[in-house]
Chains A and B, each alone.
Chain A
Amino acid sequence: MAVLKVTFTKTNRDKLAQVLWVLNWVSVVTGVTLFSMGLFLKVEIEKRRELMSKEIDSVPNMLICVGLTACAINFLGGKICYDCVDTTKFLRWKLLMLPYITCTFFFTFCILVGALMCYSMRKDLEESLYFGLRDAMRYYKDTDMPGRCYIKRTMDMLQMQFQCCGNGGYRDWFHIQWISNRYLNLSNSDVVERIRSNVEGKYLIDGVPFSCCGLYSPRPCIQHQITNNSAHYNYDYLKEDLNLNRRGCLQALLEHYTQIMQSIGLIVLIIWLFEVSVLTGVRYLQTAMENVLRQGDPDCESDGWLLENSIADTARYNFNIIKNLGKCYQVDDDPNIDVPSTSRQMQENVPVKQIPEAR
């Protein structure tokens, strides 16, 4: 029994073909949109590449590929739908229709995967940013080392732009040496004592870089001896909320990227629904047109459906095809393949019956 059978008149078929032609062109535009969003996401990720420990390119690459494929598939779809108005023109597409619909189905599935990937990417991104930011903070001081000389600038720019400080918060700066030995007076007793008091011989201070300073603070920024209330007048570090940016850069960047991903994910989901509707329409048009060809009258009514048999039957049928394909490939491995059989020899001895020619 056919799934979701609909009867189409000649007018209905023509209208459906015209509407699908328009929708396919709209889909080309949505393909460009997908490509653009993928490109935008790729650029956004690339901008912060230095702050990520591993590459997170799967989602933008997926969107770029799907976008380009959408353009190609829907361009072809538009051509098919345009020709479907004329039965004679449809004949040349007849063989291509099933592979086209199958490809479009898989491609539409890829769009859904792309949308879901946008939402599932957060975990990987968080991990990548966590280790990336940790390393960037660790290399903040290495401005004279090739390959790391711009890390300080990147980190400062990030903290100013996103109004954040450290990885999880400003206290992260207390656990690393962020001032290069080049700018430390190692003949100074205070510096020497501070280095000696640390197991790893690092110069740790309760201070942060200038880029951690909060714009909204009513007082000039306190960057050094942050946890020492007596070092500053009218100051209590436990109550001081505005002096430094409280939010960690991991959280800030995650929010930034999550917002982008969620927006893109939603758009991709809408595009997916749109593509599914176009695919459904094309399938109806294909089956309706094939039934017209069977009946031989271009102006007659015809049935269109999504599946010729029930879902279970179709699945079973396709499974058998795949199984037979597998068997077909196994034939080559048969050890008896070149051994002539007796039946074949007997067949060879049988005289060929001649068909009389029509005179």
Chain B
Amino acid sequence: MVLLKLKFPFQKRVRLAQGLWLLSWVAMFSGAVTFATGVFLKTELHRRSEVMHSMDIHIVPNLLMAVGLASVGINICAGKVCQDSLDPSRFPRWKTLLLPFFCLSVFFTSLLLVAMILSYALQPSLEESLKIGLKNGIRFYKDTDTPGRCFQKETIDRLQIEFQCCGNTNYRDWFEVQWISNRYLDFTSKEVKDRVRSNVDGRYLLDGVPFSCCNPASPRPCIQYSLLDNNAHYNYEYQSEELNLYNRGCRQALVSYYMGLMNTIGPCVLLVFLLQMAILVGLRYLQTAMEGVLGQENVEIETEGYILEKGVKETLLETKEKMMKLLQFAQVGDASAETPGSEPEAEKPATA
């Protein structure tokens, strides 16, 4: 049974072709926008690559870029098909190309949906990547004289200022790492010696944070050191002091930022997907309707258009059979190539 059959008079076919031609140009533009979105997202992720452990999330912008470019190509092609479908003499040249074209188009269009799903599905992966990346970033903060890590301090400071965050989860993360290089510690000082000795790993830990954790919204000058010691500062109580430092961790800030981007990009990608699907459905109707005109003297006759010639189940079975035949044919070809001497022997006449 034919799936979603529609009747198309000549006028309706012309209108469909013109409408699809216009839509394919709109979709081409939206494909370019999708590509640009992918580039933007890739750039944004790349900017923070120093505080990311894995690059799994890059699959989303890569998909968007690939699909965006493919969409431009597909829609230029679709526009050409629509233009040629108005002229029955020019349409037959597309007959053999249209089936592979549809398969390719459906594949790339479904990738849009995959990209959108992945953008949400990879959130835990992004979070984990940032957690490890930021942990390493904070750990290597002091290594300004180590090649390959010399800009880590600047990166973390910039990040904390730009995103108004502090540490990985919060400012207390800085208390657990030595973020002041030994180069700037006076080891002749008793206070420094005692602090280093009191630590198992021989690290210089203190209840202080870098300047980039300071919050400009605080009414008092920033307190960076002896944060847990109320006696070290006048009129100060660290439990109730909320504005002195940024309370939000950088992981949360970055995840919120990237998910905000994804949440904006997601619906746009969905709209592009729906538009692309609408064009493909329309193009399929146009193709099947035009096939009814081929070989007819009167090109203005009414024809039928459909999505599938048979039901979904039957079409799937038929496709499966075709694939099996193709595979068998390939195997047979391989076997004959392996035993080239067997054929002439079989052809010899039998001798008594």
Contact = CB atoms under 8 A, between A and B. Distances in A.
B153 A156 contact: no
B214 A210 contact: yes
Contacts of B288: none
Nearest to B222: A210
Contact of A209 (B153, B210, B221): B221
B235 interface: yes
A183 B184 contact: no
B325 interface: no
Interface in B226-254: 234-235
B303 interface: no
B145 interface: yes
A147 interface: no
A225 B294 CA distance: 91
Nearest to A154: B216
Given A185-B234, A215-B154, A152 B219 contact: yes
A106 interface: no
A152 B184 contact: no
Interface in A195-224: 209-211, 213, 215-216, 218-221, 223
B145 A223 contact: no
Interface string A146-167: 0001001100110010000000
Nearest to A159: B216
B216 A157 contact: yes
Contacts of B189: 233
A144 interface: yes
Contacts of A216: 154
Contacts of A221: 210-211
Contacts of B180: 220
A160 B161 contact: yes
Contact of B220 (A143, A160, A223): A143
A178 interface: yes
A216 B151 CA distance: 8
A180 B220 contact: yes
Contacts of A209: 221-222
A292 B285 CA distance: 63
B221 A183 contact: yes
B154 A234 contact: no
Given A183-B221, A218-B145, A234 B184 contact: yes
B144 A219 contact: yes
A144 B219 contact: yes
Contacts of B211: 210, 213, 220-221, 223
Given A160-B161, A160-B216, A216-B154, A182 B235 contact: yes
B84 interface: no
A143 B217 CA distance: 10
A213 B216 CA distance: 13
A44 B129 CA distance: 38
A178 B216 contact: no
A179 interface: yes
A273 interface: no
Prevailing SS type, chain A contact patch:
loop
Contacts of B184: 219-220, 233-234
A141 to B, nearest CB: 8
A3 interface: no
B146 to A, nearest CB: 11
Contacts of A213: 211-212
B343 interface: no
B304 interface: no
A234 B188 CA distance: 12
Contacts of B181: 218-219
Contacts of B190: none
A220 B210 contact: yes
Given A182-B235, A184-B234, A218 B144 contact: yes
Nearest to A143: B219
B216 A211 contact: yes
B183 interface: yes
Nearest to B184: A219
B57 to A, nearest CB: 27
Which of B181, B184, B189 gathers most chain A CB within 10 Å?
B184
A182 B235 CA distance: 8
B185 interface: yes
B221 A149 contact: no
A234 B219 CA distance: 32
A180 B234 CA distance: 12
B161 A210 contact: no
B158 to A, nearest CB: 6
B216 A233 contact: no
Interface string B178-215: 01110111100100000000000000000000111010
Contacts of A156: 216
A21 to B, nearest CB: 30
Nearest to B216: A156
Contacts of B214: 210-211
A245 to B, nearest CB: 12
B189 to A, nearest CB: 8
A160 B180 CA distance: 22
B217 A153 contact: yes
Contacts of B144: 218-219
B302 to A, nearest CB: 48
Interface in A84-133: none
Contacts of B219: 143-144, 149, 152
Contact of B235 (A157, A183, A211): A183
B173 to A, nearest CB: 16
Nearest to A188: B234
Contacts of A160: 161, 216
Interface string B141-183: 0001100001001100110010000000000000000011101
Nearest to B180: A220
Given A215-B158, A233-B186, 6 more contacts: A143-B220, A209-B221, A215-B212, A219-B144, A220-B184, A220-B211
Interface of A: 143-144, 149, 152-153, 156-157, 160, 178-180, 182-185, 188, 209-211, 213, 215-216, 218-221, 223, 233-234
5 closest Cβ contacts across the A-B interface?
A: A143-B219, A218-B144, A156-B216, A233-B186, A185-B234
20 contacts: A149-B219, A152-B216, A152-B218, A160-B161, A178-B221, A182-B220, A183-B220, A183-B221, A210-B211, A210-B221, A215-B154, A218-B144, A218-B145, A218-B153, A219-B181, A219-B184, A223-B211, A233-B185, A234-B184, A234-B186
